[in-house]
Amino acid sequence: GPCKSLTPILERATAATGGQVELVKLNIDENPGVTQAFHVQSIPAVFVIKDGKVIHNFTGGQSDQYVQQLVQALLPDPTQSRIIELLANGTEEALRDAVALAPGNEDAICTLADLLIRTGKAEEALTFLVRLPETDRVRKLGAMARLAMNPVDNLDVELVALLLRVKDDEVARREYLDILETMGPADPRTSKYRKLLTTKLF
């Protein structure tokens, strides 16, 4: 019947993945609990489980081609796997390779930008960051890069000086916000200076 013809198809397709996709066979008479949990109505019943969740299921026989496509779709994207590898490596060369592979990947670009800022290449870091939509992480790194290009010795003195110009000076306002961004919410001065800015602008 369908069980006998489907089993070798499933075995071949999963064996070809070199252990990345595992085939688990259960006898429904010996495992009534599993049968109930998965609401098995008829056999063969195939459930595709990934990261602990059922992502696909079918009953009855299926063609070799159908099963092959189903199993292939479960394999990790080789590009994504390579990017994860390169990010874990963490060298400038590896991070540049990751960005070249995925020019719009926020994680790859931000990790590279962070490294470039710390190694005195803030201007180049900004050229990568402008590719991305403005998230909190991108905004913070952009602020760090701009500050690295124009270092400030004393943040408080600088903020007070900028505060006098923020209302009419777009550049001063940007620089003021950059400093607050790099100080971060953990710095008690951040909320104080944010309030002062609001008062000044409105």
Q: Which CATH architecture has domain 76-149?
A: Alpha Horseshoe (1.25)
Confidence of residue 2 (pLDDT cuts 50, 70, 90): low
pLDDT of residue 93: 96
* Cα–Cα–Cα angle for 121, 149, 98, rounded to 5 degrees: 30
The yes-or-no verdict on residue 87 having pLDDT over 70 is: yes
Contact 182, 144 (CB under 8 A): yes
Which residues belong to CATH 3.40.30.10 in the chain? 2-74
96-147 pLDDT, tens digit each: 999 999 898 999 999 999 999 999 999 999 999 999 998 889 999 999 999 8
133-188 pLDDT, tens digit each: 988 899 999 999 998 988 777 888 889 999 999 999 998 898 899 899 888 889 89
Class of the 2-74 domain? alpha beta
Contact 194, 163 (CB under 8 A): no
Which residues belong to CATH 1.25.40 in the chain? 76-149
pLDDT of residue 163: 92
The span from the CA of 8 to the CA of 55, in Å, is 22
Q: For 17-77, where are the alpha helices, taking DSSP H only?
A: 32-37, 64-74
